Chains A and B, each alone.
Chain A
Amino acid sequence: MHPLLTPISRFGLYLLAWIPLAGILVYLMAVPGRLGWLDATVLIIPLCLIYQFVCLSAWYSCKAAPIQKSTGQRLWLTHVLAAAILSLFWVLLARLLAYGISEFPAFRGLNGRFASQVPVLFGAGFLLYLLSVASHYVILAIEDSNKAEVRVQESSILARDAELKALKAQVNPHFLFNSLNSISALTSLDPAKAREMCILLAEFLRMTLGLGEKTSVPLSEELSLLRRYLAIEKVRFGARLQMEEDMQQVSSAVQLPPLLLQPLVENAITHGIANLPDGGTVRLSGHSHNGRVVLAIENTFDPESTPMRKGGLGLKNVRERLEARYGKEASMRVSAENGKFRVDLAFPADTANTEEAKN
Chain B
Amino acid sequence: MNMKDANKITALIVDDEDLARLVLRELVQTHPEIAIAAECANGFEAVKAVAEHKPDLIFLDVQMPKLSGFDVLELIGTETAVIFVTAYDQYAMRAFEVHAVDYLLKPIGRERFEAALERAKSRIGEKFPPAPELAAAARPPKQFLDRIVVRDGTRVTLIPVRKLDYAEAQDDYVALASEGKKHLKQQTIASLEACLDPEQFVRVHRSYIVNFEKVVRIEPYGKDSRLAILADGTRLPVSKAGYARLKTLLDQRT
Query: Given the complex, which residues of A lie within 8 Å of B18, measured CB to CB?
Result: 238
| Residues 186-237 of A at the B interface (beta carbon under 8 Å) | 186, 188-189, 235-237
Query: Given the complex, which residues of A lie within 8 Å of B20, measured CB to CB?
Result: 178, 181-182, 185
Residue interface mask A281-308, B partner, CB < 8 A = 1: 0000000000000000000001011110
Let me know if B107 and A177 touch, CB within 8 A.
yes
Of B26, B41, B87, B105, which is in contact with the most chain A CB atoms at under 10 Å from its CB? B87
Which B-chain residue is minimally distant from A240 (CB atoms)?
B16
A184–B215 CA distance with the chains assembled, in angstroms: 54
Residue interface mask B220-251, A partner, CB < 8 A = 1: 00000000000000000000000000000000
Give chain B's interface residue range (CB within 8 Å of chain A). 20 to 34
Query: Given the complex, which residues of B lie within 8 Å of A236, measured CB to CB?
Result: 17, 19
Question: Separation in Å of the A81 CB from the closest CB of chain B?
Answer: 63
What DSSP secondary structure best describes chain B's contact surface?
A: loop
Query: Given the complex, which residues of A lie within 8 Å of B107, measured CB to CB?
Result: 177, 180-181, 183-184
Which B-chain residue is minimally distant from A238 (CB atoms)?
B18
Which A-chain residue is minimally distant from B140 (CB atoms)?
A309
Residue interface mask B101-125, A partner, CB < 8 A = 1: 0000111100000000000000000
Question: Separation in Å of the A175 CB from the closest CB of chain B?
Answer: 8
B158 at the interface (CB under 8 A from A): yes
What DSSP secondary structure best describes chain A's contact surface?
A: helix
Query: Given the complex, which residues of B lie within 8 Å of A238, measured CB to CB?
Result: 17-19
Let me know if A235 and B42 touch, CB within 8 A.
no
B22 at the interface (CB under 8 A from A): yes
Query: Given the complex, which residues of B lie within 8 Å of A306, measured CB to CB?
Result: 146-147
Question: Separation in Å of the B178 CB from the closest CB of chain A?
Answer: 14
B173 at the interface (CB under 8 A from A): no
Which A-chain residue is minimally distant from B68 (CB atoms)?
A306
A235–B63 CA distance with the chains assembled, in angstroms: 17
Let me know if A277 and B65 touch, CB within 8 A.
yes
Given contacts A185-B20, A185-B22, A235-B19, contact A173 B88 (CB under 8 A): yes
Let me know if A305 and B66 touch, CB within 8 A.
yes
Given contacts A274-B63, A305-B65, A305-B66, contact A182 B17 (CB under 8 A): yes
Question: Separation in Å of the B131 CB from the closest CB of chain A?
Answer: 18
A237–B42 CA distance with the chains assembled, in angstroms: 13
A182–B16 CA distance with the chains assembled, in angstroms: 12
Let me know if A180 and B106 touch, CB within 8 A.
yes
Query: Given the complex, which residues of B lie within 8 Å of A253, measured CB to CB?
Result: none
Residue interface mask B71-111, A partner, CB < 8 A = 1: 00000000000000001110000000000000001111000
Let me know if B88 and A174 touch, CB within 8 A.
yes
Given contacts A236-B17, A236-B19, A275-B65, contact A177 B106 (CB under 8 A): yes
Question: Separation in Å of the B85 CB from the closest CB of chain A?
Answer: 9
Which A-chain residue is minimally distant from B25 (CB atoms)?
A185
Query: Given the complex, which residues of B lie within 8 Å of A176, measured CB to CB?
Result: 88
Query: Given the complex, which residues of A lie within 8 Å of B106, measured CB to CB?
Result: 177-178, 180-181, 184
B160 at the interface (CB under 8 A from A): yes
Question: Among the listed A189, A237, A276, A309, which residue makes an inter-chain contact with B17, where contact means beta carbons less than 8 Å apart?
Answer: A237
| Residues 150-202 of B at the A interface (beta carbon under 8 Å) | 158, 160
Given contacts A180-B107, A185-B19, A274-B63, contact A304 B26 (CB under 8 A): no
Let me know if A184 and B23 touch, CB within 8 A.
yes
Let me know if B17 and A177 touch, CB within 8 A.
no
Let me know if A189 and B22 touch, CB within 8 A.
yes
B143 at the interface (CB under 8 A from A): yes
Question: Separation in Å of the A229 CB from the closest CB of chain B?
Answer: 16
Which B-chain residue is minimally distant from A236 (CB atoms)?
B17
Given contacts A237-B17, A277-B66, contact A185 B87 (CB under 8 A): no
Question: Among the listed B26, B44, B87, B143, which residue makes an inter-chain contact with A181, where contact means beta carbons less than 8 Å apart?
Answer: B87
**Other CB < 8 Å A-B pairs besides A174-B88, A184-B106, A274-B63, 9 of them?**
A176-B88, A180-B106, A180-B107, A185-B23, A186-B19, A238-B19, A275-B65, A277-B16, A306-B146
The 22 listed contacts between A and B (C-beta, < 8 Å) are A173-B87, A173-B88, A174-B87, A177-B88, A177-B105, A178-B106, A181-B87, A181-B106, A182-B17, A185-B19, A186-B19, A189-B19, A189-B22, A236-B17, A236-B19, A237-B17, A274-B65, A277-B42, A302-B66, A304-B158, A306-B146, A307-B146
Interface residues of A (CB under 8 A from B): 173-174, 176-178, 180-186, 188-189, 235-238, 274-277, 302, 304-307, 309
